[in-house]
């Protein structure tokens, strides 16, 4: 699911900063209507907490959480 949200976020940013044609080509949509329907102005509803996802650590793998780990 996170991969799809990343794709949607990237497509929305491309549509906003470049234009819909660039976003459509980068997303490999065969129909510009698909890009228009799901990516233009969709950023408001498709915002993903990328910082949280990238900075997430698994507590079970941190040394403090597992004092017996070497």
Within-domain flag for 59: no
| pTM, two decimal places | 0.53
Within-domain flag for 66: no
Within-domain flag for 7: yes
List pLDDT tens digits, range 25-59: 999 999 999 988 888 765 455 555 666 667 766 55
Higher pLDDT, 17 or 65: 17
The answer to whether the beta carbons of residues 16 and 44 sit under 8 Å apart is no
Distance CA 42, CA 49 (A): 15
Least confident of 1-10, 14-23, 38-47: 38-47
Counted domains in the chain: 1
Within-domain flag for 70: no
Q: Where do the H-state alpha helices sit in the chain?
A: 2-17, 20-26, 32-38, 50-55
Nearest to 42 by CA among 18, 22, 14: 14
Higher pLDDT, 2 or 47: 2
């Amino acid at each position: 699911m996170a991969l799809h949200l990343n794709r949607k976020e990237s497509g929305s940013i491309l549509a906003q900063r470049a234009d819909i044609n660039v976003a459509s080509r980068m997303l490999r949509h065969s129909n510009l209507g698909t890009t228009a329907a799901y990516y233009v102005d969709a950023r408001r509803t498709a915002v993903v907490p990328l910082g949280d996802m990238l900075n997430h650590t698994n507590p079970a793998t941190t040394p403090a959480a597992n004092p017996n780990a070497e």
